Amino acid sequence: MEFNEFLSVSPEVASALAAGRPVVALESTIISHGMPYPQNVQTALAVEGAVRECGAVPATIAIIGGKLKAGLSRGEIEYLGKKGTQITKASRRDLAFLVSRSCDGATTVASTMIIAAMAGIKIFATGGIGGVHRGAETTMDISADLEELARTPVMVVCAGAKSILDLGLTLEYLETGGVPVIGYGTNELPAFYTRKSGFGVDYRVDSEEELARAFRCGEKMCLGGGMLVANPIPEEYSMDKEYIDSAIDEAIAQSRAEGIKGKETTPFLLAKVKELTGGLSLESNIQLVLNNARLAARTACEYCALIKKEEQQCQGQLP
């Protein structure tokens, strides 16, 4: 299998892709910037384990020593976890310089999508996407994740957009980019820590097979762009909406008072919300990522089964 010259695919992931077996991409910003050590490493390994338990191969993605890596070793995950925020938080704009300078980078949703697409990985599980930040009508603080969803053909399974954002404007931006927002088993956009946001989704889907079929139809029509699957946090880990909204409002007020901007905004807000909730938000974060990884893995299995069926039909083995 031919890969981009800057891309290093682990033997396990390369073998799975060559054999048409299911693979799920996982981001690395959650390791370096999303949680403290050692919880970040423990969570990353648990998420990989959840993908395996559901029949797929995990491909945690990062930039290490200037190489775009699809599939990390345990040692590489440990390295990212220990280095933490010393690792550059890398989006699309950072990739060329990190590679040319042989640097490390922890991939955001946007850059994980890019590297996954280079490797031929179709489905990606994360916690929540970035989006339009509150007050963006004056700050223009809009995550590159939204533009990437509009251009890169990867299915992103998440727990909705992070509730620190302006969810209404985020949905409007996704609509403009032609990105379908799918509610898995729900008609309402989940808001990361909570199952409800007050905003609807474009389509409700109740099975992994339908998710895979819809994504495959978009591929075959060459529509370009990705698909956003919003998977609600499990009920037992969902936080009270008023409680978490109050913590978020306080965190946002403090970020503005301290002049926090750009790529530092989301890590600051998530850390502050964790502090204000006494760590409850971190446990919810871990559980929703595991939940998304399982759904992504099951969907990847259905996608591969669909591709295999198409191949058999082409060969005349099926009617």
Q: Which two tokens stand for residue 10?
A: 């682990």
| Cα angle 160-161-163, degrees, rounded to a multiple of 5 | 110
CA separation for the pair 60, 86 (Å, rounded): 19
Is the Cα dihedral 117, 148, 218, 125 positive or negative?
positive
Q: Which two tokens stand for residue 237?
A: 């880990």
Q: Hey, how many other C-beta atoms are within 10 angstroms of the C-beta on 228?
A: 25
Task: Using alpha carbons, select from 79, 75, 84 the residue that is nearest to residue 29.
Answer: 84
Q: Which residues are catalytic?
A: 27, 162
